[in-house]
Amino acid sequence: MKPAQADAYLRRLGVPYPAWPTLEVLRELHVRHLRAVPFENLSVHLGEEIVLDEDRLVDKLTTAGRAGSATNSTAPSGRCSPPWVTR
């Protein structure tokens, strides 16, 4: 996730940029993600293409203010983790 995308994601979650990736911070981000990015399957019903491209998923969750199915609503906390999360 690029820095601008991380900033937009954190704005959506309503949290400041964390100083350090502590367990407490990561737990808070997880809870905030669950509250701010609900499950939705509108794309399926609207006949939209289901895209798993990381940049497009992050854009959908941040700029577009949408959520996603189980496959794509967890993207920021999964394969396109914000830059403060180490693997």
Q: Please, what sign has the CA dihedral across residues 66, 18, 54, 2?
A: positive
The residue-averaged pLDDT of 22-40 equals 87
DSSP conformation class of 15? -
pLDDT tens-digit readout, 42-82: 777 888 887 778 888 888 788 777 776 655 555 555 544 55
What local confidence, expressed as pLDDT, does residue 69 receive? 62
Rounded CA separation 86/67 (Å): 24
Report pTM: 0.68
Nearest C-alpha neighbor of 38 from the set 16, 7, 1, 65: 65
* Confidence category of residue 28, pLDDT binned at 50, 70, 90: very high
Asked if the model's pLDDT at residue 8 lies above 70, the reply is: yes
Let me know: does 60 contact 5? Beta carbons within 8 Å.
no
Per DSSP, which regions of 1-87 are E strands?
Answer: none
